[in-house]
Amino acid sequence: MKIQRVYIDTSVIGGCFDSEFALWSNGLMQDFQMGLFRPVISDLTTVEINVAPDFVQNKYAELLDLEHDILEVGDEALDLLGSYQMREVIGDKYRNDMLHIALATVAEVDILVSWNFKHIVHFDKIRRFNAINSELGYKHLDIHSPREVTHYDQD
């Protein structure tokens, strides 16, 4: 059986320490440890984590100890980002949010997971990102919160 590749943005790692999100972020980390999913991260995630508190950087280091894929920001992802910007899916101030989506799209991950409900895990934004992806010949990108994805049993 193919293990699904799950791209996580920085909010998922930080969510491990937030009382509202910890249950599901940590559950997803357990799913990665159990091999239920393969974590996918990017150069962008690394840059964002480098300015995070030490405890978030330590959690990220734990993730790097697992088998994972790391995506590099390249021309194809930057071109796709440019298409998102030209269509003004979200404001340029949130360029990194769009770049996470572009990286995941170009890499054809199975799922992108985030706690960013304003710019990423938002019905209208998902629809707009995927419309552009389809127009440019990319696959549909599934975008969810960790709560929707983790196998972790909360009961």
pTM comes to 0.94
pLDDT (0 to 100) of residue 151: 83
Range of 121's domain?
4-149
**Is residue 154 in a domain?**
no
| Mean per-residue pLDDT, 8-20 | 97
CATH number of the domain where residue 41 is located: 3.40.50.1010
pLDDT (0 to 100) of residue 54: 97
**Is residue 155 in a domain?**
no
Give the other-Cβ count within 10 Å of 27's Cβ: 18
Give the other-Cβ count within 10 Å of 43's Cβ: 15
Q: What is the pLDDT of residues 49-67, one digit of tens each?
A: 999 999 999 999 999 999 9
